[in-house]
Structure formats: C-alpha cells, structure tokens
Chain A
Amino acid sequence: MNKPRRFSKPARFIGFENMQTTILYIGRDTEITAVMNRLLNARPEWKGLCVCTDEEAISICKEQHIDLVLLGNGIDPESETELKNKLLAVRPSLKIIQHYGGGSGLLYGEIMSALN
C-alpha cells in the first residue's frame, strides 16, 4: 500500500476557483499521481485534487464539491467497485470515469467528453 499522499493545487491559481472544474484523481502510483496533479493544475479552468488512497478520496468528496472523478492506475476491480459505491453514497450524482494512459495524451479528451 502506498503511503497516503495528497497533492494540492498551487496557490497562484486560487483566483480562478469560481470558474474552475474540480477534478478528483485517484491512482495508486505516487509518481503517476504527481504527474496527474501537475497536468490537471496546469490548466487554469481545472482544479485537480490527486490522491493515492480511497480514504482520502472519500474524505475530499465529503468536504467539497467535485465535478468529476478520474479512476487511475493500480486500482483493482474489487476496490474500484467498492470505491465507486462509497463515492456515490456521498454524492449520488457524481460523475466517475476511467482514466487510461497516465499522462497528458488522453486527459483533455476524456475530461471534455465526460463533462459534455
């Protein structure tokens, strides 16, 4: 199990928060999760919250509005189903999609498709 780690948004984007789409990424690999945090927060219109554990993800969902959840690397099918159920129990209308690839190539298209 990876050490719990939460990646937070750089402070310089705080002024955009009212216009931002908040995206929660959950992946087990800390390196990929750090890259996802950088990529999501590189766009002013997105606010990325990236975590490696289900507990952190659920906690974030309880604390704030989330527009979209990306399920990333290393989540086995059983925990994925369990995680989805827990997240939907907190916010039944939550949009949850798979994120494939780990990097920038697919990210924009996946997010735009999910949000539209």
Chain B
Amino acid sequence: MSQFILHKENTRGHANHGWLDAHHSFSFANYYNPERMHFGVLRVLNDDSIDGGMGFGSHPHDNMEIITIPLAGAIAHKDSMGNSAVIKNGEIQVMSAGTGVSHSEFNANADEQLNLLQIWLFPNKKNITPRYDQQTLDVAARHNNFQQILSPNADDAGVWIHQDAWFSLGKFDEGFETEYKIKKAGNGVYAFVINGEVTINGQVLSKRDGLGVWDTDSISFKANTAGAEVLLMDVPMELN
C-alpha cells in the first residue's frame, strides 16, 4: 500500500530578506519544522526569487549534491574549482560538494528577477572529489513527457550525481494522463508542481505544492490545466 505526504504551497517555510524571497519545502536556515526535515535523501527544496544583480557571496559546502534549476532569469556562478558560468532557464546545474567547495551565486541580470529551484540531496558516498557540471536541456522533449534531467549514471540523459536518484521535468496539455514508474526499488517520488494544476495518485496539486509518495513502484499522473509543469524527484528513501 503506497504512502504519501502532502506539502501545500502555503505551508512551506518563508523568508523574505528583501532582495531574496525564499520558500522552503523542508527545514532550512531559520525555518525549522521537525516534520519537514527531508524526504528520503532529498533534504532541501528551496524556491528562491532573487532581485536583479543580487545573490549569495562566496560560501562553502561539503558532502552534498546540489542541483540548481533556473525557472526564470539566469544565475552567474563562480566556484573554487575555477568554474565560472551563467545558467539560464532551460538549463540545469549540478555541484557535488564532496570534500568541500566554495561558490557564489548571483542574479546575472540587473533588471530581471531570477527564480530558481535549489535542491540538495545527501550523497551516497562522503568526501568525494568535488565536481561541477551544467547542461542545456531540450525543452521541447518534455512536452507531454517526463524528460529525465538527472540520474546516477554519467552516460545517461541529463546530468549525473553521486546518488541513486532520477529527476524528470514535464510540461503537459490539459487532460494528459500517464504513469511514472519508479526507477529503483525502495525509492520514493517527490513531485513538485512548478505551474498549473495536476492530479497525482488522486491528490489534486496546485502551483508549488509538493507530494511525496513511497512504498509503491509507480504513480498515476493527470494534468488538469494546460501547460502544467511538474518536477519529479525519484530518490532513495533510506540514507546510504
């Protein structure tokens, strides 16, 4: 029998710092909710809006797989591995922090709001050599399809990370129905609605709602509105 947890948009943690308007699906920074610590190895799902030219100065990370998905605008990234890049909507960035890496992230545009999802997963191995990657995605390939954008395998579609996790993005026509099969036994799926309204396993979800489902091998999906966009995060439910 599958189990689920529903996180409505308005129950997320919220911090408005002026230049940064952040919503946290799980406990983060000063937002602490013992019922919202993680979903399996998914530890952080932040939905950040950052004013033009503003951002996070250089700060360190270690032992975390950090995935950034710009939803609108572009991010200027610099890190201690020597990477300097701009990542825009339609692209994905991954950083395996491993033994330690410092980076800065700023809105690359002075006159445009940046909206991004930043997702942190616990790694399946500690103290690995830090690595960075980014990839341009074929946005058309996610029309009425869950397009894989991340996996554990370097030779598979999307970027890869040090975890048995698969992420997929889809954008759907109204009424489109499908089933998503979980990639690995023991994994669960956390669905995050980027836009529109969808129904997953009978639960109606609106923009920025999250639904975690586990103890199952698949989930049912229906788009209730035209252009509904969903991110699926298929992750181990046990920490490695």
Interface footprint category on A: 20 to 34
**Once the chains bind, are B120 and A105 in contact (CB under 8 Å)?**
yes
Flag whether B96 is at the interface (Cβ < 8 A). Answer: no
A32 engages B30 (CB within 8 Å)? no
Inter-chain CA distance A108–B31, complex, in Å, is: 8
Scan residues 44-65 of chain B and give those whose CB is less than 8 A from a CB of chain A. 44, 59-64
Contact partner, B28, options A32, A102, A106, Cβ 8 Å: A106
B64 A101 Cβ-Cβ under 8 A: yes
Q: Is B82 an interface residue (CB 8 A)?
A: no
Are B127 and A73 interface neighbours, CB within 8 A?
Answer: yes
User: How far does the alpha carbon of A112 sit from the alpha carbon of B34 in the complex, in Å?
Assistant: 8
Is the CB–CB distance between B30 and A100 below 8 Å? Answer: no
* A75 to B99 alpha-carbon distance, docked (Å): 9
Let me know if B4 is at the binding interface, CB within 8 A. no
Q: Is the interface of B mostly helix, strand, loop or mixed?
A: loop
For window 8-36 of chain A, which residues contact chain B by CB distance below 8 Å? 27-29, 31-32, 35
Of chain A, the residue at the smallest CB distance from B66 is A101
Provide the main secondary structure of the chain A interface. Answer: loop
A35 to B61, CA, bound (A): 10
Q: Mark A57-89, 1 if CB is under 8 A from B, else 0.
A: 000000000000000111111000000000000
A113 CB-CB contact with B under 8 Å: yes
Q: In the complex the two chains form, is A101's CB within 8 Å of B37's CB?
A: no
* CA gap between A27 and B97 in the complex, in Å: 14
CB distance from A30 to the nearest CB of B (A): 10
Would you call A103 an interface residue if the criterion is a C-beta within 8 Å of the partner chain's C-beta atoms? yes
Residue of chain B at shortest CB distance from A109 = B27
A112→B59 CA distance, assembly (Å): 22
User: Which residues does chain A contribute within 8 Å of B64, judged by CB atoms?
Assistant: 100-102
- In the assembled complex, the Cα of A72 lies from the Cα of B64 at a distance in Å of 12
Q: Is A116 close to B, CB under 8 A?
A: yes
Interface: B184 (CB within 8 A) = no
10 pairs, CB–CB < 8 Å, chain A vs chain B = A28-B99, A29-B99, A101-B62, A101-B120, A102-B97, A103-B60, A106-B43, A106-B44, A106-B120, A108-B27
Interface residues of A (CB under 8 A from B): 27-29, 31-32, 35, 72-77, 100-106, 108-109, 112-113, 116
Give me the interface of B with A, judged by CB distance under 8 Å.
Answer: 27-32, 34, 37, 43-44, 59-64, 97, 99-100, 102, 120, 122, 126-127
- 14 more contacts with CB within 8 A, not counting A35-B60, A101-B97, A101-B120, are A28-B99, A29-B99, A31-B60, A73-B62, A73-B100, A74-B62, A74-B100, A100-B63, A102-B62, A102-B63, A102-B97, A109-B27, A109-B28, A109-B32
